[in-house]
């Protein structure tokens, strides 16, 4: 059974949340795929992950680059780095069968985007019906992540 986490963004942006989650992923010794909804998002994240902090960067690759990176950015189904975790961001989607081969899947969605909220609800229902452990996280007013379900 794969653990599936849903992060509901209301107070923070994807750009502020994703690097921290990727850092924790790498601390575990895991590899990750970040699946977006478009090539434009890949390009934006690619630049951001190199510069999000003055004292750090996240090693990563994308289409046409070295596939042996601990973090792979894509808008397709490719996962050349043999990941343990899949991040779905900005409209990125996956088939539920793909989730079963991972340790964890994380969907990060914008709570101000009705389409994104609807997609998250649909994926939640599929995940629960398939017997995967699903948890829902929302930011408190203080900015801390709190488990809601």
Domain map (residue ranges) of the chain? 3-147
pLDDT of 57: 84
34 and 71 Cβ atoms separated by less than 8 Å:
yes
Domain 3-147 belongs to what architecture? 3-Layer(aba) Sandwich (3.40)
Residues 133-145: what's their mean pLDDT?
89
> Which pLDDT band, with edges at 50, 70 and 90, does 46 fall under?
very high
Whether pLDDT at 64 is above 80? no
pLDDT of 16: 93
Collect all residues with Cβ–Cβ distance below 8 Å to 17 and sequence separation of at least 6: 7, 9, 108
Residues 133-140: what's their mean pLDDT?
91
> Which pLDDT band, with edges at 50, 70 and 90, does 54 fall under?
confident
pLDDT of 116: 95
Task: Report the relative pairing of strands 133-139 and 145-147 from DSSP bridges.
Answer: antiparallel
What DSSP designation does 56 have? B
pLDDT in tens, 78-126: 999 999 999 999 999 999 888 988 999 999 999 999 999 999 999 999 9
């Amino acid at each position: 059974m794969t653990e599936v986490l849903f992060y509901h963004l209301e107070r923070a942006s994807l750009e502020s949340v994703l690097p921290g989650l990727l850092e924790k992923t790498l601390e575990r010794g895991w590899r990750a795929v970040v699946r977006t909804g478009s090539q434009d998002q890949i390009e934006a994240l690619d630049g951001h992950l190199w510069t999000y902090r003055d004292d750090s960067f996240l090693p990563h690759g994308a289409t046409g680059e070295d596939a042996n990176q601990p973090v792979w950015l894509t808008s397709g189904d490719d996962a050349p780095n043999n990941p343990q975790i899949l991040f779905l961001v900005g409209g990125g989607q996956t088939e539920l069968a793909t989730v079963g081969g991972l340790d964890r899947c994380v969907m990060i969605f914008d709570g101000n985007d009705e389409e994104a909220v609807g997609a998250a609800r649909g994926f939640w229902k599929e995940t629960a019906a398939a017997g995967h452990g699903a948890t829902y996280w929302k930011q408190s007013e203080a900015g801390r992540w709190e488990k809601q379900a």
